[in-house]
Structure 1
Amino acid sequence: DAHEGLKAAITRVVGATWQRCRVHFMRNVLAHAGRSGRRVVSAFIATAFAQDDAEAARQQWRRVADQLRPKVPKLAALMDAAEPDVLAY
């Protein structure tokens, strides 16, 4: 669902940002979390989705990424790159 042509067309024609599917994003993230860390990582990321507004969601997203960065840097980097698309409103 991240086809670059579709993303460009949505921006040009509709004038909206593209929102990445949370389910597909979580599948990508959990592949980096390891079997034993999946529940914790999933719960951490879910806290960003539970925020009341976009700014609070972005701030929580960054806090979660920063907490994960020392132990799982690839996962944090994935969160950094995906933030605008996953948190699009």
Structure 2
Amino acid sequence: MMLLMFGLTSVVAVTRQLRCLDAARDVALAVARGEDPPTLPAGSSVRISRDGDQVVAVVSAAVSLPGGRLPELTVTARATAAVEVSDSGRGSST
């Protein structure tokens, strides 16, 4: 039974990690283009920063463990995108 719970938790954590990675990539690209960030998966949070001509998006989400007695795991994904230059030669204004 314990092995089954561990296996299911692993699958849930990996799935949530992949969703965070997709969301971080989408957010970084949208902000680099000067667009509004897309909607995040439920229960996720995002931190957006700019480092020179790079936009960095970090998305985090909690993963509940079965049984409710153990603390939650937090999965995090980070994506970076280059700021796209507009026709006037300047980066977008975000």
TM-score by length of 1: 0.34
Max Rg structure: 2
Higher strand share: 2
Q: TM-score, normalising length from structure 2?
A: 0.33
Structure richer in helix, relative to its length: 1
